[in-house]
Amino acid sequence: MILLNLLPHRELARKKKREQFIAAVTLAALVGVGISLLAFSWYQAAISNQRTINATLDAEILTLDQQIKDIKGLESQIAALQARQRTVEDVQADRNQSVHLLSELALQVPAGVLLTKATQTDQTVLISGTAQSNEQVSDLLRNLASGSAWFSKPELLESVAAPMALSGKDQRTFFNFSLRAVLIRAPDAAGPALPGSAASATGLGQTP
């Protein structure tokens, strides 16, 4: 007996393959959606973690900024205190400068030189006087430059010859000079002025 299959087996095979394809595509889509959801969740967690880190860093930055402001305020206060300390030290150093100035001039003026005026402006001293010769003026400059611990950078401004009438008909030429020097602010440059120093400063030189 011969059996004949009259069913459309080709259609059934195609239908079965189509159903398998659809199932595979559906499964792949589900797997893709799952992977996407997992990746999205991971990225969201990473973003949230990074935001938390950023918030912590921002808070630390604000704290550091406040500390920097506080440090700058302290630095300003320290600078102000240091300026006040320097001012006090300068005042203490300058307190006896006039005594030292006059005493030192009395010691450094050579014979034959008479000082008529000494004016101090800050650390600059202008000195005027009369000398018997320009050599004596040079001696005074040399004494102030190398022999004095309280003066530096002496500079001759002018030296003008001026005849002066003496007793009778005698005349003699003297030199009116002016010079400039820097008074050194150095309390340790010389010891404290002795009582006799101030007294000797009243006569700033010897009469020509």
Q: Which CATH number do you get for residue 130?
A: 3.30.1360.100
Residue 3 covered by a domain: no
Residue 200 vs residue 192, higher pLDDT: 192
Percent of all residues in the chain with a pLDDT value above 90, rounded to a whole number? 17
Q: How far is CA 32 from CA 20, 22, 35, 67, in A?
A: 18, 15, 5, 51
The continuous run of DSSP H or E covering 165 comes out as strand 151-165
At which of 50, 72, 95 does a domain end?
95
Segment among 49-63, 68-82, 104-118 with least mean pLDDT: 104-118
Q: What is the pLDDT of residue 10?
A: 73
Structure-model confidence comparison of residues 56 and 147, the more confident one: 56
Q: Within this chain, do residues 24 and 88 fall inside the same structural domain, yes or no?
A: yes
**Where is average pLDDT lowest: 29-33, 51-55, 170-174, 202-206?**
202-206
Judge if 81 and 107 occupy the same domain: no
Quick check: 199 pLDDT over 50?
Answer: no
86, part of any domain: yes
Looking at per-residue pLDDT, the higher value among 28 and 9 belongs to: 28
- Give Cα separations from 92 to 16, 80, 124, 193 (angstroms): 111, 18, 18, 14
Same domain, 82 and 128: no
Residue range 183-195, pLDDT digits in tens: 876 544 444 443 3
Among 95, 129, 144, the domain boundary falls at 95
Domains held by the chain: number: 2
How many other C-beta atoms can be found within 10 angstroms of the C-beta atom of residue 139?
A: 19
State how far the Cα of 166 lies from the Cα of 7, in Å rounded to an integer: 162
In a domain, 164, yes or no: yes
Higher pLDDT, 204 or 72: 72
Residue 34 domain boundaries? 12-95
Both 108 and 87 in one domain: the answer is no
Residues 44 and 63 in one domain: yes
Please state the rounded mean pLDDT for residues 76-104: 78
89 and 116 both lie in a single domain: no
